[in-house]
Amino acid sequence: MPIKEGDYVLIVGDGVRSVIKVARGSRISTIRGVINADDIINQEYGTLIKTNLGYDLAVLRPLITDILLERADRVTQVIYPKDAAQIIINAGIGPGSRVAEAGVGSGFMTAMLAYYVRPNGRVYGYDKREDAISIARKNLEMLGLLDWVELKLRDVISDGFLERDLDAVILDMGDPWNAIPRATEALRFDGVLVVYVPTVNQVIKVLRAMSDYGYVDVRMFDVMVREWKTEPDEVRPQTWVNAHTGYILIGRRTLRPIAQPTK
């Protein structure tokens, strides 16, 4: 497939890793030298191009995670792909799922959800911060994923979700225990609740609320992805690793009456 003007491309090689929007006549600067955008337009994706300093860099279609990590704007702490991956698979979210998320923050998780519920599912993204909604919209547009998302400026704790019978609700906010009653009424019976929190103080409150509201099959886990150096003669883990982002809590709603907590 040929590289076209306006494409986002991933440039990689010799320590270079960045996502660039191709603009005719422009120069692409990297730490390994410069490439002329005109020299890659109409080339095949996968091509290797020499910089003015003599380095071979590859030009690739970026994956969704490449764009999120290298190019998307951030307004808040984001849910990283490693955690998004475990949330999506462990909540059974896939093509066709109807999912709500509060709050959307910078829209990273929203984007991953949109990517995986395509083409016939839907993501309802809530946030009470206007700047979050705005950044998330921008990121989703860049990724071409806005068609599968409805963004809503709304406080779910006070005002609730507008949907019912959802397959999953994901809470990524400071005090998610306060949103659990509202999430519960938005979920289908046996729907999946996912909560993402960074501290163990929050974990304790979430577990109490999940128990109070009758959730079953409750699991909690944290995910560590250990990156390695890939030089064949010196294979070893990277020295520094992101060892903590957040805890993931997952449970299933039941038919227990939700008007009042079970205890």
- Least CB distance from residue 68 to a second copy, whole Å? 11
Structure tokens that stand for 109 in this block? 């998780």
From the CB of 169, what's the least distance to a second copy, in Å? 14
- Distance of alpha carbon 45 from alpha carbon 3, whole angstroms: 6
Pick the closer one to a second copy by CB: 123 or 133.
123
Identity of the amino acid at 187: L
Are 250 and 207 in contact by the 8 Å Cβ rule? The answer is no
Min dist CB 134 to a second copy, Å, is: 26
Provide the minimum distance between the beta carbon of 143 and a second copy in the complex, in angstroms, as a whole number. Answer: 12
Query: For a second copy, which is the closer residue by CB, 10 or 136?
Result: 10
State which residue, 133 or 149, has the beta carbon closest to a second copy: 149
Identify whether the C-beta of residue 53 lies closer than 8 Å to the C-beta of residue 63: no
Please say whether the beta carbons of 104 and 136 come within 8 A: yes
Q: What angle do CA 162, 163, 169 make, to 5 degrees?
A: 110
CB 243, min distance to a second copy, A = 4
E strands, 14-148, in order: 16-21, 27-30, 33-36, 48-50, 56-60, 98-102, 122-127
If the CB atoms of residues 130 and 200 are measured against a second copy, the closer one turns out to be 200
29: amino acid identity, one letter = S
Shorter beta-carbon distance to a second copy: residue 25 or 240: 240
Query: 259 vs 2, 182, 207, CA distance in Å?
Result: 58, 11, 18
- Please tell me whether 155 is known to bind a ligand: yes
For residue 67, give every residue at least 6 positions away whose Cβ sits within 8 Å of its Cβ, in sequence order, or none. Answer: 8, 19, 142, 143
Report yes or no: 77 and 246 within 8 Å, Cβ to Cβ: no
Of the two residues 154 and 220, which places its CB atom closer to a second copy in the complex? Answer: 220
CB of 16 to a second copy, least distance (A): 10
Tokens of 247: 């805890």
Q: Which residues are annotated as a binding site for S-adenosyl-L-methionine?
A: 127, 155, 172
Q: Which residues are annotated as a binding site?
A: 127, 155, 172
